[in-house]
Amino acid sequence: MKLEKARISDVPEMHKLINYFADKGGMLARSLSEIYENLRDYFVVREEERLIGCAALHVCWADLAEIKSVAVVEGKQEQGVGARLIKTCLADAKDIGISTVFCLTYKPGFFEKFGFSQVDKMELPRKVWTECYRCPKFPGCDEVALIYHIKAGA
Ligand SMILES: CC(C)(COP(=O)(O)OP(=O)(O)OC[C@H]1O[C@@H](n2cnc3c(N)ncnc32)[C@H](O)[C@@H]1OP(=O)(O)O)[C@@H](O)C(=O)NCCC(=O)NCCS
């Protein structure tokens, strides 16, 4: 199993994976153009040449980034793939000097495993809502917000 930055050729597979779970109501859908435009945010996990998971770290502001689109193919879940992706996103955030990472999710228990804590969505800066306007659920967002503070030097 190999974790690395996503490549252009991964986009169709990532799009399929994310939207498979989005169609089931588990996460937000992403268009092909969104994934291409933000490709540098994405990490993927491969098993041999097969893409089995992805996640993105998107910088929002000087002190804030979001973890998005975390998905692991059915049949490869509960084997630590999601954990590797989250830890990599957090390490990446630390490397570039981000102090706080947040996520909006229907799976708060998964993120709590890594030290994220639930917060009121209204505590997040308005800046993070830019893409929410395009969500079919807006303004009735039912995702849970969680944040993680990165300790300097830790
Ligand atoms: C949520 C998801 C990314 C987890 O990936 P995974 O590879 O199965 O997770 P891991 O095996 O790395 O699990 C890490 C830990 O989180 C726990 N965990 C996994 N899914 C969980 C969930 N839904 N709720 C609570 N804890 C969860 C595991 O039991 C494990 O705990 P442990 O360290 O005590 O053993 C995966 O189930 C998935 O892709 N789901 C569909 C898409 C989705 O809902 N994404 C949500 C994020 S936006």
Q: Does residue 1 have its Cβ closer than 6 Å to ligand 1?
A: no
| Ligand 1 mutation pick, 78, 84, 135, max ligand atoms within 8 A of CB | 78
pTM for this prediction: 0.95
Q: Is 88 in the pocket of ligand 1 (CB under 6 A)?
A: no
- Taking CB atoms within 8 Å and a gap of at least 24, the contacts of 106-110 are 106/25, 106/26, 106/27, 106/142, 106/143, 106/144, 107/26, 108/144, 108/146, 110/70, 110/82
| 8 Cα to the center of ligand 1, angstroms | 26
Mean pLDDT, the chain, integer:
93
| pLDDT band, very low/low/confident/very high, at 124 (cuts 50, 70, 90) | confident
Closest residue to atom 20 of ligand 1, CA basis: 110
Nearest-CA residue for ligand 1 atom 42 is 71
Tokens of 136: 């079919």
Which residue's C-alpha comes closest to atom 28 of ligand 1?
Answer: 78
Q: CB neighbours (10 Å) of residue 148?
A: 21
Per-residue confidence (pLDDT) for residue 84, from 0 to 100: 98
> What's the pLDDT tens digit per position in 40-93?
999 999 999 999 999 999 999 999 999 999 999 999 999 999 999 999 999 999
38 and 58 Cβ atoms separated by less than 8 Å:
yes
- In the structure, what pLDDT confidence band is assigned to residue 128 with cuts at 50, 70 and 90? confident
Comparing 18-27, 111-120, 136-145, which segment has the lowest mean pLDDT? Answer: 136-145
